Structure 1
Amino acid sequence: MLSDGSHRELSIIETFEQAGDIRSIDGDMPLQRFALSRLLVAMLYGRFGHDLDVDDWKSLYDYGAGNPSLMQAILEYCDEWRYRFDLFDDRYPFYQVAGLHTAKHETSGLERLILDVPSGEPFFTTRMGDGLQSIRAAEAARWLVTVQAYDASGIKSGAVGDPRVKGGKGYPIGVAWTGHLGGYLVEGTNLWQTLMLNYVSQDVFESGEAASVQWDDDKPVWEREPLTQQATKGFDQPVERTGDTSFFHGPATLMTWQGRRMLLVHDDETVTGVLVCNGDRLKPQNAQHHEPMTAWRRSPTQEKALKRPVVYMPRKHDPSRALWRGLPLLLATHDSGNPTGGDDFIRPYSLKWLSKACPERSIPVRLHAFGVEYGNNDAVIDATVDDTLDISLVVLTTDNPQMGQMIQDAVDKTDQGIRALRNLAANIALSEGKPTEAPQQRAAELGYSAFDGAFRQWLRGIDHDDNPETLSRDWYSQARQLLQRLGSHLAGQASPKAIVGRDVNVNGTTQHYSAALAEIWFRSRVNGIFNQTATERANHRDSANQSDNDGTNA
């Protein structure tokens, strides 16, 4: 909550009613925030539709959850579909299939529902004993939504009535939909702002794109016919039709996609087990016009495999790479304006929409990245991504090309500076005749750890886009000083043998290496990297050319 930072457990209706007083959705694990936020955004699609123009969207954004008429519209929608949100209903249980069962009526324990219980390693978790015997209905509902979003692939229980089942088993159809994504949630000051900042109108598309994008049949799952144990025609994507965009339908469909058929085991108050079977298969190739909350990359490998001229895949997050290092590809200045496709990268359409529609470019937001790295043929979750950037929306939406280039240069030069730090560590190791790989790795870890907080703090202070040169100069100064401190730290740890140094054969040439020389080379390299801003470099080139023309020694 915004008022005191406390946590409260609220119903969906209470969450909408208090959305202006809620800082953010929390969960039993970070991935739940993304999954549950997408569920609420899907409800906005269900109530307000897909084709809002910029003025309509601004009105909803500005009204806020405290507006009586707006809240009445949401409550009427909730009342209309209330019967589809009963977790234990006999006919239409929420996110489940009534009567789902296997031939032997087996079910699994709660470790199959709770994603943060390591597969096959139950001792490496805080949940033991009673924690895996039963959970309350509210917690079960949160995990139900999260499993439908992120469940790993692998063999599932075979549901009676599913023709795909062989030998009582449901063979792998891939990870759940959201598991394909490198997800981005744009978080505002309160939950209402967060939901609106991720609610993308179909008006986001340029004229050349809009003609080929169909969201007419898009609706959240509770507005569709109740699911059965069988795959749903028009949603279950055959292998041979991978990349066929007709299966995506639109954002509300994907935000509530049912990649699994599930049924909770319960006693009307607590949940004690679950049955998880295969649902509707869907692969992410070319879903960029339907899934707005991830970036996309062009895949020549998939183009060759699917024999299609252009194929885009979600640009997933790397758990070992901080979010700020990939920031340049998310900026509005990265858009080419090419509606026919062919760009190597496409930034999330949620950010494209904010560039077009958001009335307050300078508002502070939190860009929150979520993702999963699967292992063992996508059958287990190896790692999760939960990273944030506190940033002004102007950074993500500015169309000032100098601003975009300034951010790109800042990231690139920071990477170059840390490579110089790696080289310093390698040269010190060479000075004492030791292997270089381990010192380089430690230096890189030290560098990125030190720069992580500094770069985030610098980004947090950017609230305008009219003077990128000053911003760039400020970062160059900070980065140079930080690298010099790190370099002095590494050099200060050099052994007596490295201080004395030794002769090293480099590419057939003998050269003396020592810790002191390594630090001199490092400082020279750092000064070269962070020497001038773009304008200063251009002025320097002009000045040099003029001096040459005057016959002076430039």
Structure 2
Amino acid sequence: MVKKGCDILGRYNLLDEPWIMVMTEDGENRKVSLQEVFRHAHTYRSLAGDMVTQDFAVMRVLLAVLHTVFSRVNAAGETYKYLTLDARYVPQNEIEEDDADDYGEELFETWEILWRTGRFPEIVETYLEAWRDRFYLFDETYPFYQVTKESIAPDKINKAKAGIICGKNINRLISESGNKIVLFSPKYEGKKNKEILDADEIARWLITFQGYSGLAEKVIFGKEKYKASKGWLFDLGGIYLSGENLFQTLWLNCMLWHTEESYRIERQCPCWEYTGEELVANYLQGKTVKNSAALYTNWSRAIYIPEDTDTHNPFALQDVKLPEIEHKEQFLEPMTLWRFSQSGPNKDCFTPRKHKEQEALWRSFGLLTLSYRTDTGRGKIEAKRKPEIMAWLDRIKSDLGDKDIRFSAVSMKDDGNATSWVPTDEIYDELQLSYEVIADADWIPRINDAVEETKEVIQSIYGRFLSEVKDIR
């Protein structure tokens, strides 16, 4: 659909249009399509979007594609014998529990073959082509990461109309409200209006907004209140493995055989295999997220973008808040640090732990590498749990050789206001370690003790010294 006055394709299919930003081997930034990013992932250094939090959100969409495809077919594009697939590669049956171990071995074989091959096979593009109709950014029926206008009609929500999010609100480089002008903005009035977004920007920020939303809007479905999502990624202390190129980064984090047994034979269900209406119904009914593809493409908002959107004009979308994912013991999530609560509503449970702005990643060494649960007496329990991606690293270590492992950490900083949780900045860090060190059961506690002692010296002894110097002055 091409509308007069627009210079873009009315539907802007993400399989063909260049919208994903990558860094090439020569250090240049380039925009590529969804098909291209898989076809040439081995020739790109990394994702290179507007923010590292945006890259993290987009990376998880790419991982959802890979989890979906290679949970159904092997490295040669052949269907696993335990499944029957339709023309769109959708399983027509569930994996039997008796076949789980054999299925798992074949998944590992698929992972190992592709790791040695060093690039993604054509089957990824073939799968995406089968779902082409679900990747139109502007569409009347199946808009990508969105619902139709009818889904947020006044009779379905608690307000007369859905909330309005403007271009400068969804663009986290600006995040300007109507009450305060952002200084030193990358976009400003007179040169390029802050509300203007090109189609490729809309696609990237749409995915990012679903992961990092905040709670400023008031519109929900129905009249009964529910705990609304601020975006699942917003609460994570994101951790992922970084490789030498984009293929390696994606494949290192593609945990085909989940480290938690209860999730291993669940069908992978990315959002594009459902209509927006079906997804909203599932969220409102409180259906539990049980597979990685669904988690990586989870929505925090039911979003509607008019199909005749003209990118020459100020951009705006309509949204309605959706319920949040259960945070307690959500070990389906492999890419986060965990916090063990000693009190409060999450007592004796693990919940995601965000990175702290003032703490480098090495200071979280224990949270990254240790797992234990100890009863210290009088009903008090101390516990740590390493991210599931670390357990996956243990499983694939024999394929990696003696190379150092690079960990990337990413979190979104917020304004500290529990009624709004406005994103204000991002936190990013890296840590490179020899796998021989983090795989050594004797070295890990020694290093952790050294880290904890260093933190104690800096925070207590050196901190008191600086405080006394300040008093003297």
| TM-score, L = length of structure 1 | 0.65
**Larger Rg, first or second structure (1 or 2):** 1
Q: Are the equivalent residues in 2 in contact too, given 1:294–1:314 (CA < 8 A)?
A: yes
Q: Which amino acid in 1 is paired with 2:321?
A: N
In the alignment, which residue of structure 1 is the partner of 2:389?
Answer: 350
Aligned residue type for 2:233 = T
Match of 1:137? 199
Identify the residue that residue 57 of structure 2 maps to in structure 1.
35
1:220-299 correspondence to structure 2 within 5 Å = 220-224=270-274, 226-228=275-277, 231-233=280-282, 235-236=283-284, 247-265=288-306, 267=308, 270=311, 272-288=315-331, 290-299=332-341
> What secondary structure sits across from 1:320 in the alignment?
coil
Correspondence 1:163 to 2:214? no
1:366 CA drift (Å): 2.7
Shift of 1:286: 1.7
8 Å CA contact retained: 1:188, 1:364: no
What is the rounded CA distance, in whole Å, between the counterparts of 2:28 and 2:433 in structure 1?
24
Q: 1:122 aligns with which of 169, 174, 181?
A: 181
Give me the identity figure in percent: 28
Structure showing the higher helix proportion among its residues: 1
Partner of 2:256: 201
Name the structure 2 match of 1:111.
168
Alignment of 1:369 with 2:405, yes or no, is: no
Q: Are 2:237 and 2:354, in contact at CA under 8 Å, matched by a contact in 1?
A: yes
The aligned length equals 395
Instruction: Say yes or no: does 1:314 pair with 2:352.
Output: yes
Three-state SS of the structure 2 residue aligned to 1:385 is strand
Work out the CA distance in 1 between the residues paired with 2:251 and 2:116.
Answer: 10
SS of the residue 1:23 aligns to = strand
Q: Is the 8 A contact 1:372 1:383 kept in 2?
A: yes
Q: For 1:215 and 1:116, locate their aligned partners in 2 and report how far apart those are by CA, in whole Å.
A: 40
Distance 1:186 1:232 in 2: 34
Q: 1:44 aligned to 2:66?
A: yes
Mapping of residues 80-119 of structure 1, within 5 Å? 80-99=130-149, 100=152, 103=160, 107-119=164-176
Alignment correspondent of 1:456: none
Post-superposition offset of 1:186? 1.1
Partner SS for 1:32: helix
Contact kept in structure 1, 2:135 and 2:144, CA below 8 Å: yes
- Which segment drifts farther, 142-151 or 248-257? 248-257
User: Does residue 146 of structure 1 match 2:196?
Assistant: no
Counterpart of 2:338, as a letter, is: W
Partner Cα separation in structure 1 for residue 267 and residue 337 of structure 2: 24
1:228 aligned counterpart, secondary structure: helix
Deviations along 1:458-500, whole A, 9 cap, x unmatched? Answer: xxxxxxxxxxxxxxxxxxxxxxxxxxxxxxxxxxxxx8xxxxx
Q: Take 1:254 and 1:229, find their aligned partners in 2: how far apart are those partners? A: 16
> Aligned partners of 2:393 and 2:110: how far apart in 1?
14
Q: Report the Cα offset of residue 273 of structure 1.
A: 1.4
1:10 aligns with 2:60: no
**Map of 1:383-462 to 2, 5 A cutoff?**
383-396=425-438, 398=439, 400-418=440-458, 419-426=460-467, 429=469, 435=471
SS at match of 1:128: coil
Residues 1:56 and 2:113 aligned together: no
Distance in 1, Cα, partners of 2:326 & 2:373: 26
Q: Distance in 1 between matches of 2:112 and 2:52?
A: 29
- Show structure 2 runs of 5+ residues with no match: 1-22, 73-102, 155-159, 375-380
Deviations 1:401-455 (A, max 9, x none): 232133223323432443443344455x3xxxx627xxxxxxxxxxxxxxxxxxx
Q: What is the RMSD computed on CA atoms of the aligned residues?
A: 2.9
Would you say the 8 A contact 1:370–1:384 is kept in 2? yes
Distance 1:106 1:186, change over 3 A: closer
The change in CA–CA distance for 1:230 and 1:179 in structure 2 (over 3 A counts) is same
Q: Distance in 1 between matches of 2:466 and 2:340?
A: 36
Cα pair distance change 1:228/1:387, threshold 3 Å: same
Instruction: Please list the CA deviations of residues 136-176 of structure 1 after superposition, one character each: whole Å capped at 9, or x if unmatched.
Output: 11111000000001110133446xxx4248xxxx9861311
* Paired residues of 1:189 and 1:364 also in contact (CA < 8 A): no
Structure 2 CA distance for aligned equivalents of residues 44 and 415 of structure 1? 39
